[in-house]
Structure 1
């Protein structure tokens, strides 16, 4: 996660923060069948974002069926008892809206953006496929080929995605985050329509879903519509999954990926804490600020020194996203310039963190960085869809939409001493996985299939 925002935003961030905090709060309801409904009124434009988030993602899969969460996401557009394959999307388009879906490690979400008077119609469509999906064997056979082609083009034939896939498989031994969201190819090849049916029957239930509606709406009216369309759906007994706890790492893990690419590349992944309690997890907020110190704006430390001044790298970065259901990583990455090796760049990246661990950051730099970071957090809310995304992510990862503003408060309160402290404690060899890309000639790279060219 990179926190790059325009200079204008940083100048106004602290001025606008009180206004952001004073904005109309989201309202929450729970239907009798256990479905949570969160509504955020925002009347700046006559549009609405309607999203259904299922608390199930690739981390809930088991060996042999990796990728099934993503495959089912595709199949959700293939018809219900009353809709033909593709008709869902056609109806949303006829209403003047746009729609899509996405699968992550932690959740699967479906959304429509629509003119406010059409909300009831898309809600009826979404509730229909929550309960009445038809999983046809022939449609599945066609769609699984699409997913396999997607995997080939977006991962197998792309150098950097291959590096990250291998890095995750090495950084996590036991936790299912080691599996790619799209699934391993062998699992896709052996997957059947019955695997998708079982996933749908086990997880797609109102009591495993959160409805998020943002935009030009009345919360009480949305509640009534939710009761009408989702409230009549039966709750299910959800499948119980056993925890898969990642064992402590005891030393550096290294791996190398050989793939067609223009430049070498290296990524360093350190085990880091996940946000569980906004009030108590102060290290998480300090690590957010540290990531911004390193790579939060155009002239942040990594880019200023390694790219602009020393010219030892073509690109560098830092990333940390603490909001997840499972364990998370703090990433340092970069592509060395000519004359610099990936081994040297690895040391240079670590040296910049070590410099903060030894010398700390000045109050002036800290203030500038936090202003940029907070500006990025606030301006995500300028979009109706962005607000719905923020609420949905929080709710499906074990936090609450009520924590959103409090996170900003906690970021503002981070001290220079806290930033120095986390730099000292979380970047040890025993928590590190290093993945290196060794480029092969680009002539070995295959062109994308016609169906995936844009």
Structure 2
């Protein structure tokens, strides 16, 4: 299938900057319209969110399922992402492979993505074509048809995707090992795409079992952003989705607890495909829902102050003043139900070593933990983040993504809507307290990617 898929695992905070670069992304509570979205629930348990934006006769239609890679049965890793592929294989009404072609012929775009905590499908299309995509999406929610003829070749496609995205990318392999060290036996410690041997063993029955258990309206949320009101959407939602019966009970998650590292860990990989060394460090941190709105906003501001661009502390210190790095960044990844992380990334100067980079990062972190942050730093960071929120409102797909990701990872529509206000309220004391909670007295996972013979 001529489709570009991606696994939705980008940090909440990083996504806002992709928006500013004009790329598809989303950032939880920052991407809000002026009014709180309208919400209602259908009789079959399907939730509906309407984000009105009447600047153009276009809509973004998204269906989010509250199931992701972290919800897979042991031994069946990769099934969530595999089924995402298979959802384009057809129904009695739509021939295999025709779903995206129909959307394209009607002037629209579509895609899908898999996260640890959710799977989502979307179409961007003219308003007068909204009933068409709603009918199509509702059809495959209840009438997906799969046979070995469609399933087995697509399994090969997924295996090739694993080879391209993980096995052929030394940096991805390094981060896979680091996540395993950070999250231990929790599902966040494995790749969304799954384990290769387990993917290779997945079959048609596995896909249909997963589909019938989780792809039910009481486990789904419909989000429509664009030139539509709740009064206009409600009869359409009832017509196309309201008649779909619940095929299974509402999914109640039962996951293992994340066991934090009991000691600092280091993962070193050497690979002949690597031209320049890379240094990465992860600290365990709560997700947005676990941290709460105030602390989550403070962690975002902390990431911006430490490593959010050329005015950040780390860039000024490591690149401009000390000259030990050519690039450096820091970020907070909080868009996960069970726990997030705070990350650092740096590239040493040509001919330089990772030791100097690591020492310099640790020095700047220690200085922040001791001295706190300045008035100028916190105001600049908040201005950048809130300005990004304003720019992002110009993209209805981004708004739909933001609300979907936030709702799927434990936030409410009100918390998402009010996120810019929480950022504006962050104080220097909030940032220091947040920094000390995750960077002082906690154990980290450090990754080193080096040229050389494969290790």
| TM-score normalised per structure 2 | 0.90
1:242: Cα distance to partner?
2.3
1:339: Cα distance to partner?
4.0
Give the aligned partner of residue 16 of structure 1. none
Matched, 1:355 2:359: no
Q: Is the 8 A contact 2:331 2:344 kept in 1?
A: yes
Matched, 1:73 2:84: yes
User: Which shows bigger deviation, 100-109 or 418-427?
Assistant: 418-427
CA distance in 2, matches of 1:345, 1:210: 44
Specify which of 423, 429, 434 is matched with residue 417 of structure 1: 429
Q: Is the 8 A contact 1:303 1:315 kept in 2?
A: yes
1:258: Cα distance to partner?
2.3
CA distance in 1, matches of 2:122, 2:139: 14
Q: Is the 8 A contact 2:309 2:329 kept in 1?
A: no
Q: Which runs of 5+ in 1 are unaligned?
A: 8-19, 445-454
Specify which of 281, 285, 299 is matched with residue 268 of structure 1: 281
Q: Is the 8 A contact 2:142 2:244 kept in 1?
A: yes
Q: Which whole-Å deviations, capped at 9, do the CAs of 1:362-405 have from their partners, x for residues lacking one?
A: 11221111101111122221101011011111111121122123
- Counterparts of 1:47-86 in structure 2 under 5 Å? 47-86=58-97
CA distance in 2, matches of 1:324, 1:229: 30
- The secondary structure found in structure 2 opposite 1:86 is coil
Matched, 1:246 2:258: yes
Matched, 1:379 2:388: no
Matched, 1:134 2:145: yes
Give the aligned partner of residue 451 of structure 2. 439
CA distance in 2, matches of 1:389, 1:356: 33
Give the aligned partner of residue 32 of structure 1. 43
User: Which shows bigger deviation, 80-89 or 224-233?
Assistant: 80-89
- The secondary structure found in structure 2 opposite 1:150 is helix
CA distance in 1, matches of 2:266, 2:33: 48
Give the aligned partner of residue 118 of structure 1. 129
Give the aligned partner of residue 28 of structure 2. none
1:298: Cα distance to partner?
2.5
Give the aligned partner of residue 210 of structure 1. 221
Distance 1:164 1:28, change over 3 A: same
Distance 1:299 1:5, change over 3 A: farther
Q: Is the 8 A contact 2:36 2:417 kept in 1?
A: no
- The secondary structure found in structure 2 opposite 1:431 is coil
- Counterparts of 1:45-194 in structure 2 under 5 Å? 45-194=56-205
1:240: Cα distance to partner?
4.5
Give the aligned partner of residue 380 of structure 2. 368
Distance 1:345 1:48, change over 3 A: same
Give the aligned partner of residue 222 of structure 1. 233
Specify which of 291, 306, 318 is matched with residue 318 of structure 2: 306
- Counterparts of 1:309-324 in structure 2 under 5 Å? 309-324=321-336
Give the aligned partner of residue 10 of structure 1. none
Q: Which runs of 5+ in 2 are unaligned?
A: 1-12, 21-30
Distance 1:325 1:424, change over 3 A: closer
Q: Is the 8 A contact 2:32 2:393 kept in 1?
A: no
How many residues align structurally?
Answer: 429
| TM-score normalised per structure 1 | 0.90
Q: Is the 8 A contact 1:50 1:213 kept in 2?
A: yes
Matched, 1:234 2:256: no
1:5: Cα distance to partner?
8.8
1:429: Cα distance to partner?
5.7
1:282: Cα distance to partner?
3.0
User: Which shows bigger deviation, 320-329 or 335-344?
Assistant: 335-344
Distance 1:241 1:425, change over 3 A: closer
Q: Is the 8 A contact 1:252 1:429 kept in 2?
A: no
